[in-house]
Structure 1
Amino acid sequence: MQIQSFDELATEKELKLFGKTTAQKFQRLKIIIIGLSSLGLEIAKHISTQQPELITLCDQQSQRLKQCEQLLKTNNVTQIETLEMSYKDNEILSKVDKHDLTIICDIQSLNFAISVSEHLRQNSSKNQKYNKGVIWTCTFGFICLKFSDFGQGFKVFDRDGVQPFPYHITNITNSNPGIVKIHESIPHNYKTGDFVRISNVEGMTQVNGPEARPIKVISPTEFSIEYTQHYNKYLAGGLVQLTKVPFKYHFQKLSESIYKPNTLKTNEDKIVYSTVIANLQLLDQTTKPQSEQEIINIALAVYKTFDLDQFDVQLCQKTIKFMQTTKYPVISLWAGYCSLEVVKFTGKFTPLECSFIQFVSDIDSDDQQIKVKLQSLNALVIGSGGTGCEVVRLFSLMECCTQPNSKLTILDDDIVRKYTLGTHYWFNSSTLGKAKADVAQEQAQLLCNTMNIDVDKSKFSEKSEIIVKQHDIIFSAINNQTSRLLIQQQAQKHNKILFDQILNGLKAYTQFGKPNQQLQIQETLKNVYNVDQDTYKKFPYLPIHCVLWAKEVFDNSFVGFVTDFQKFLQDRNGYLQNFDEPDVVDNYHIRAHVINRISKPGFNLTLDKILSLSKELYEFHFEFKINELLKKYPTDALECVWTGYKKIPQPIKFDSNNMDHVAYIQITTLLISKLFNINASAVFKQEYVIDKLQQMTENYWNLTNPLVPTPVEYSSQNKPQFLNFDDDQVRGLYVRCIHSLTNLRCKNYNLQPIPLYKVQKYALEMHRSNPIMHSIIVGWMGIELNKYLYGNCKQRNMHIDINNNILEFI
């Protein structure tokens, strides 16, 4: 692995959130968007970040076309075409034919949406090679509606986008059918009809093999397979793993799914939905304004098709009133959600034919003063990354904080770096190095020049309490657990409204906190890779276990080391009192041994010594510790532990001619040099490193035999500093270090190596973000803010998990 420069490291970014194959499929799509009102504009903006082959913009207003085209050009879309025509134009269907996917936005016509669906189905039946699809979506005030029709026989290649991983088998019965039981610690997520592969079973070897077999789920830890009565008796071990078999998803015709939606959960949903459909039916019949009573009569008829008799006329009237309004937060949320449905057209994730959300029933009554209340807000946004910028943008679209005594304060001490490019379309190459808060302020005032925006470029801390006291509403737009807890404490102490969120990839959880209300601040979102330490430290059987091990090694080597050094300087004897003569050399002994040597008066830490330390760390992790493990668990023991899924590791001797080994030395040396602020630019040259390594005749540090520290004087002249993970260079080195550690560990255990882009995904697990999810989160924030200002409304938290098709308001 050739390392050229810090810049080269910094530009290695996380692959697109949806994966390599999905990204490639998306880049071959030709998409037409008909209707470029606010919703269409937002959807176009989102899908353009996925770089489809062609986006055709269609609207009868030239100004909308120009605005949208200009926006898309900032995302470097390969090809953009514009059509200035009405959806009623006779040629519109011929234009649709030239595209793979048609997105109809805020065209309030049932007839047009159905006609496009029928037309595409007829054409698809003539060409069986691939389906064409249509998504029709609208917002009506506090109401969102979306229908999809990707045709009959649409193929889903990956139902949830989650990487399958094996479960431990604890028993298989000899019966008809055979019952497979897995370890109770981690329940499976299988469904009846799924296919699995079984391996490493001892005794009942007939079930081992590459063939996929169907299962029937019995319980969270049991499922049945084929007839196993005449198979050998199960003895021990075994792994079972889901095999994702493509399946066909048969969409209903749009004309059917509109009148038989399967997503309406409550009676209120059905009343509001019936009212929307009634209004759309009347709009197709006449261009004249409809009377309220006409809509109520048709809504009642639609409602009766659900076989219910609890029609609430007042809710219907309230729905009619709200349908005439535009709510930017609703548009933000729904544009993000519909953009994810566009991604599903590639065959990744299970699509949804109908999606419907309404917030009308949460609101007691309309408030004519809502605009004045928004204009009079005193709000604080903490963090101006992707989520924070989207909050500021939404505020500018709603024209908030424009009254003389109101203000929006953006608090963030960070600058735009290479790794932040793409998290929001405000961040581009021209903003590199600028303060994020300044960029947000500048862009927001271009959208609404009457907004009162203050910028505070300090880091959020306990001292920020003064700023919190000056505002009524706090928006937490950061993921850091410690900071989020501190924000809640300060908001609660001073009776402030708090909006909290946590985002990880395609999962997010948001909370609304009233004054004096304590929220449960989640540290992380559920991660399926949580495994016990014994597995990833001693008996890894999956590459992901090697990533977990690598992350822990990194933390011990470059974070724990600095923490320990500080403890050492504060209380040397207290820190070393647990050292003794080690029977087993662990990370603590290594750190204490190195700290003790570096801190001796007059010790000169040179680049050569750091290179030697890096080489000895390699030998410690990939040779010494593996040999220790094999001594502890001999392969020829009577009760051998190396059975079932446990793979026997092999030590890897360091080889200066192996470029993977040299790359590890380069990366580790660069990181240690960063800790001590030592110039290590020469290390980027492999020839220099190889030459230095070949000159080493003995181990300078002797890590595998650390000496008990002796009570001598010490110096803090070589005191290390914590790595700055906001720095592009450090993040690049971090990912490369995890990648190197992971694949060397995989080599120890004869596991498949992991490509860099996957390691990035795992290494930066809590930092995966994208504009689509920011849009959804901030849309929720805006909706709940509106509801709070209305007063006497039902406030809800939001949980979204795209992998499992969850969007719920709790």
Structure 2
Amino acid sequence: MSTAEVDPSPSSSPSPAAKKRKLEEKNGNSSNGSNHHLKEIQQQPKMAGNGNTHTIDEGLYSRQLYVLGHEAMQRMATSDVLISGLGGLGVEIAKNIILGGVKSVTLHDNSLCKPSDLSSQFYVSEADLGKNRAEVSHKSLAELNQYVPVETFTGELNKEFLKKYRVVVLTNSSLEEQLRVSEIVRSFGNALIVSKTQGLFAQVFCDFGEDFTIIDTTGENPVSAMIAGVTKEEASVVTCLDETRHGLEDGDYVTFSEVQGMVELNGCEPRMIKVLGPYTFSIGDTSSLSDYVRGGVVTQVKMPKQIHFKPLADALEEPEFIMTDFGKFDRPPQLHLAFRTLDAYIKKEGRLPAPWSRKDSQQFVDLAKELNSSLSGPSKVEEVDEKLLATFSHVCQGDLNPLNATLGGIVAQEVMKACSEKFSPIVQWLYFDATECLPANQDSLTEENCKPSGSRYDGQVAVFGNDFQKKLGSLRYFIVGAGAIGCELLKNFAMIGVGAGEGGQVYVTDMDLIEKSNLNRQFLFRSHDVQKPKSSSAAAAVKVMNPQANVKAFENRVGPETEQFFDDDFFSKLDGVANALDNVDARIYMDRRCVYYHKPLLESGTLGTKGNVQVVIPHVTESYSSSQDPPEKSIPICTLKNFPNAIEHTLQWARDMFEGLFRQSAESAAQYLVDSKFMERTLKLTGSQPLEVLEAVHRGLVEERPMNFEQCVHWARLHWQEQYHNQIKQLLFNFPPEQLTSSGQPFWSGPKRCPHPLEFDINNSVHLDYVVAAANLKAKIYNIPQSRDLQAITKMVESCNVPEFVPRSGVRIAVSDAEAAAAANNPGMVDDDRLTQLQTELPSVDSLSGLRILPLDFEKDDDTNFHMDFIVASSNLRAENYDIAPADRHKSKLIAGKIIPAIATTTSVVSGLVCIELLKLVQGHTNPESFKNGFINLALPFFGFSEPIAAPKQTYYDKEWTLWDRFEVMGEMTLREFIEYFESEHKLKITMLSQGVCMLYSFFMPLAKRNERMDLAMSEVVKRVSKKKLEPHVKALVFELCCNNLEDEDVEVPYVRYVLPTE
């Protein structure tokens, strides 16, 4: 076990006592008059220390590393962070920063826990009421990440204490305190972030100092493109190949590599470009350089950017705003005034305005007008928005978890920016509100209905009233997925009381087990939960946060195969669904189910610092499936097989190699051993498939079946020779380096890189890595003991006889996908003699009775299984063949494993936004203008909100319908009666009728077959055509119709829900 890991087993022996440290202040007093101090904490292992570079735990941080990169993570790991104010917002920020992996986090608060904290402070329990908020939060926050020491402090934030913190975050301090701390922090050149949530309103302020350098403003990978030409002139024009748009923008900087002729460009200092078109740009003067001949790659260079921040005192008077909602363009100045007015109100009255007190709100508005009239310059508004500020006064005593989750993610990302110098910070004010969550009629929101009562939901009741809280408690919601977003949603639902009342219930399902890499974002899990079910572990964790929560966990996948669990009865009782899924197919399936059962769907997703939220409302909006992303760009087959020019090509080739060698061939051989009808079914396959399958089985059971590990090593060595030497020699035999095309151009030019064969070198670590990984994977398939003994493997390699390769004439190699497709569609005559020979040579199943073959499923996150070892070595060897820059294991895992980069901050924001939309649904809003679909990119930062798109309307005759409509038909009836019913009731002639993939009726169907079905019951037709019985849980069938109207014109019509009779 490495020093960076701890045994999670609760039964393990206690570790030796680690050193403890106690930091004390020499000046100042705590709130109770005693000398304040930092709470003693056990010294925990660190990811990095000041000025030192320590190894980052890639197993834990893998998904975040793909967002931030190693350098940014190392800078974070040398940064101490202070968070002052451990209410609902403070704990969200702390959670995200600790998960992110800074050097240390200190929690500061001198407030005591009160009942309203339970609305959003998920690490405070009823037993903690009356205790210090920072101290009761310490244990749970410290458990989030073993690499981040967490300390508590309850004293005054003086100059001596503040100087050690790279970032100071204030969440519940007065303006006077903010200004005092701002001056101290700025004097040390450190960063200050101020943030507040007041009910439905939120504020963020950032000051990263006079001069702050951003190393990477966007976090996007530098773009690169292959070059077709470079002109030699004062305003030189670079032209890229037709296949590759350059993707650059005016003002970007680039450098070059692999240019022939104009070699001075290779590795040149970054040149600023001017875009001329999608394939062309100018790079300035090249008239003194050599003539361009051919080739080359242009690559964008990320240039540092320096920005200047104003101190808080100046920024208050001269505010710059980041827009969060372009539909509320005039709102930031009004909210800037509102938050300043709130501070003045508290100073004057000694308290916050009372919830929904019309008297207090009038005083608040009057004070705002008075304050505004005293201002001058940019901070003064032309006219005070009295309605908005009155609303601010009504709800500012509220404490809402969804707002805290949203702001907690935004602020934590700003902390990471200050520490890592990666991504663009907020300059300098951000305001956010969710006033649409309030009911259209606010008459019921009175002081009496919204006053605190000592309930855990007081912070929410202050905004929405008691009746609304009861609605939340009675909800029945289904969360699909218990990963990163699922964990956050479960926490948010528990905090706001979804399903926590009489008749309420939250269901969650996830079939996955917890893995180490999950712990960095899926904050409900701890190291001792690894390999436990996600759903039940998450449900248990939120039950601790809110003992009133009613959460039922399932461990089932959602799909047609589990509809006996999630059936009509299950969905009919739901109030809605919240997706927390990581794949499009499952999202589309759940979307279809929600449309069918007329249930609202809250959809969300993240990709690194990007996130999106979509709300689907029955009979109002389009569904998730109404619009889809363009398909992922695929790599042409010929590029993969013979002409790679990027590391992505070699990695995909390596993945395909893994599938072919260790899964597909092994599956065919395994099926031969256990399926008595395997040969019969294989010979019925079309084209050349029977020959291909039997060749694979023959290799697996005869030609390439190893009997011991040494034979596995010999197989791997010979396979290396075939892939990286022989096949390349054959390719160069067919197309020599000097080959010309029919038009006289060099064949090996443009995207085609001329390869060279490799010579095996036992002392080359990559060569040996390939043999070791391939041999061990082969051994795993055949249940042969594996080996990592490099000395022994080296001897086995040296004993392998490798025949010399002689290129063959007459070998056809496709040079385009069209040629490859033509060859695949016209395989020629199947070699029946070879087919017969294979059947004869395959050993009988009885003779192989002791043999068990295990096909391998690719698993990227297990560093002990040789899967990624094989992929990395295989890809980099092929990259060497084609002079492509290799990729390290980290990058290879991202591309080959199709890993989705992820970070806790984005997840927090997205889940908060989802719950804001949930509150609107519970209010009963049906106007699309009240809802917001959102797209965010925390790196920029960018926030885009828009109204959901209305469900498209269609008509037949004078009837208007949308995707939410359908024909409800009560069964049972015969097919003839069904057709006649639509003619008589709806004046529609059915021309085609289908159920799933089964065609039940069509006008072009043979008459005998049609007549045979006409007098059968609809359910019987379905059973006969599908050749499947109807499962007991099926209470209705879905039919799709093609119809003509009375004028014999095609018309689009809704689907049919055909209700089966109950027995």
**Same-fold call, TM cutoff 0.5:** yes
Q: Does 1:226 align with 2:226?
A: no
Shift of 1:544: 4.2
Instruction: Report which structure shows greater RCO (CA 8 Å, sep ≥6).
Output: 1
Query: Residue 619 of structure 1 contacts residue 654 of structure 1 at CA under 8 Å; is this kept in 2?
Result: yes
Q: Does 1:243 align with 2:349?
A: no
Instruction: Indicate the residue corresponding to 2:471 in structure 1.
Output: 373
CA pair 573-653 structure 1, distance change in 2 beyond 3 A = farther
Counterpart AA for 1:332: A
Q: Does 1:494 align with 2:597?
A: yes
Instruction: Indicate the residue corresponding to 2:874 in structure 1.
Output: 741
- 1: distance between equivalents of 2:329 and 2:686? 67
CA pair 135-434 structure 1, distance change in 2 beyond 3 A = same
- 1: distance between equivalents of 2:540 and 2:911? 19
- 2: distance between equivalents of 1:508 and 1:210? 37
Instruction: Indicate the residue corresponding to 2:426 in structure 1.
Output: 352
- 2: distance between equivalents of 1:686 and 1:390? 46
CA pair 649-781 structure 1, distance change in 2 beyond 3 A = same
**The one of 44, 58, 76 aligned to 1:26:** 76
Q: Does 1:518 align with 2:638?
A: no
- 1: distance between equivalents of 2:807 and 2:140? 57
SS, match of residue 520 in structure 1: helix
Query: Residue 860 of structure 2 contacts residue 867 of structure 2 at CA under 8 Å; is this kept in 1?
Result: no
Instruction: Indicate the residue corresponding to 2:103 in structure 1.
Output: 53
- 2: distance between equivalents of 1:174 and 1:694? 53
Q: Does 1:120 align with 2:170?
A: no
Q: Does 1:662 align with 2:768?
A: yes
Instruction: Indicate the residue corresponding to 1:426 in structure 2.
Output: 524
SS, match of residue 351 in structure 1: coil
Instruction: Indicate the residue corresponding to 2:208 in structure 1.
Output: 150
Matches within 5 A, 1:58-69: 58-61=108-111, 63-69=132-138
Shift of 1:576: 6.6
- 1: distance between equivalents of 2:528 and 2:228? 58
**The one of 359, 364, 381 aligned to 1:295:** 364
Instruction: Indicate the residue corresponding to 1:805 in structure 2.
Output: 941
- 1: distance between equivalents of 2:590 and 2:779? 35
- 2: distance between equivalents of 1:515 and 1:317? 33
Instruction: Indicate the residue corresponding to 1:278 in structure 2.
Output: 341
- 1: distance between equivalents of 2:90 and 2:861? 35
CA pair 294-273 structure 1, distance change in 2 beyond 3 A = same
Instruction: Indicate the residue corresponding to 1:796 in structure 2.
Output: 932
Matches within 5 A, 1:599-610: 610=712
Query: Residue 769 of structure 2 contacts residue 869 of structure 2 at CA under 8 Å; is this kept in 1?
Result: no
Deviations 1:407-434 (A, max 9, x none): 1122123322334333323322322332
Counterpart AA for 1:347: E
Normalised to the residue count of structure 1, the TM-score between the two structures is 0.85
- 1: distance between equivalents of 2:600 and 2:580? 14
Shift of 1:246: 1.9
Instruction: Indicate the residue corresponding to 1:546 in structure 2.
Output: 650
Matches within 5 A, 1:105-184: 105-107=171-173, 109-121=174-186, 123-124=187-188, 131-183=189-241
- 2: distance between equivalents of 1:575 and 1:322? 69
SS, match of residue 740 in structure 1: helix
Matches within 5 A, 1:388-787: 388-465=486-563, 466-467=565-566, 469=571, 470-515=573-618, 517-520=622-625, 537-558=641-662, 560-561=664-665, 571-575=681-685, 577-578=687-688, 593-598=695-700, 610-638=712-740, 639-643=745-749, 647-656=753-762, 658-674=764-780, 676=781, 678-697=782-801, 709-711=834-836, 712=839, 723-724=856-857, 729=862, 733-787=866-920
CA pair 502-193 structure 1, distance change in 2 beyond 3 A = same
Instruction: Indicate the residue corresponding to 1:70 in structure 2.
Output: 139
Instruction: Indicate the residue corresponding to 2:320 in structure 1.
Output: 261
- 2: distance between equivalents of 1:34 and 1:410? 34
CA pair 778-183 structure 1, distance change in 2 beyond 3 A = same
Counterpart AA for 1:358: D
Instruction: Indicate the residue corresponding to 1:584 in structure 2.
Output: none
Which blocks of at least 5 consecutive residues in structure 1 are unaligned?
1-6, 125-130, 581-587
Shift of 1:40: 1.1
Shift of 1:606: 6.6
Query: Residue 138 of structure 1 contacts residue 144 of structure 1 at CA under 8 Å; is this kept in 2?
Result: yes
Deviations 1:606-636 (A, max 9, x none): 7666555434432332223322332343112
Query: Residue 934 of structure 2 contacts residue 945 of structure 2 at CA under 8 Å; is this kept in 1?
Result: yes
SS, match of residue 318 in structure 1: helix
Counterpart AA for 1:495: H
SS, match of residue 78 in structure 2: coil
Q: Which moved more, 1:33-42 or 1:286-295?
A: 286-295
Instruction: Indicate the residue corresponding to 1:585 in structure 2.
Output: none
SS, match of residue 357 in structure 1: strand
SS, match of residue 774 in structure 2: helix
SS, match of residue 340 in structure 1: helix
SS, match of residue 500 in structure 1: strand
Counterpart AA for 2:746: C
- 2: distance between equivalents of 1:526 and 1:276? 46
The alignment covers a number of residue pairs equal to 777
CA pair 727-766 structure 1, distance change in 2 beyond 3 A = closer
- 1: distance between equivalents of 2:169 and 2:722? 57
Shift of 1:535: 5.1
Normalised to the residue count of structure 2, the TM-score between the two structures is 0.66
Superposition CA RMSD, Å: 3.9
Counterpart AA for 1:519: Y
- 1: distance between equivalents of 2:757 and 2:798? 20
Shift of 1:146: 1.2
Q: Which moved more, 1:184-193 or 1:417-426?
A: 184-193
Shift of 1:103: 0.9
CA pair 232-413 structure 1, distance change in 2 beyond 3 A = closer
- 1: distance between equivalents of 2:329 and 2:894? 42
Instruction: Indicate the residue corresponding to 2:957 in structure 1.
Output: none
Larger radius of gyration: 2
SS, match of residue 242 in structure 1: strand
Query: Residue 61 of structure 2 contacts residue 520 of structure 2 at CA under 8 Å; is this kept in 1?
Result: no
Query: Residue 345 of structure 2 contacts residue 352 of structure 2 at CA under 8 Å; is this kept in 1?
Result: no
- 2: distance between equivalents of 1:525 and 1:479? 17
Query: Residue 303 of structure 1 contacts residue 311 of structure 1 at CA under 8 Å; is this kept in 2?
Result: no
Deviations 1:713-758 (A, max 9, x none): 6678778666456796489543323222222223223344332223
- State, as a whole percentage, how many aligned pairs show the same letter: 22
Query: Residue 223 of structure 2 contacts residue 248 of structure 2 at CA under 8 Å; is this kept in 1?
Result: no
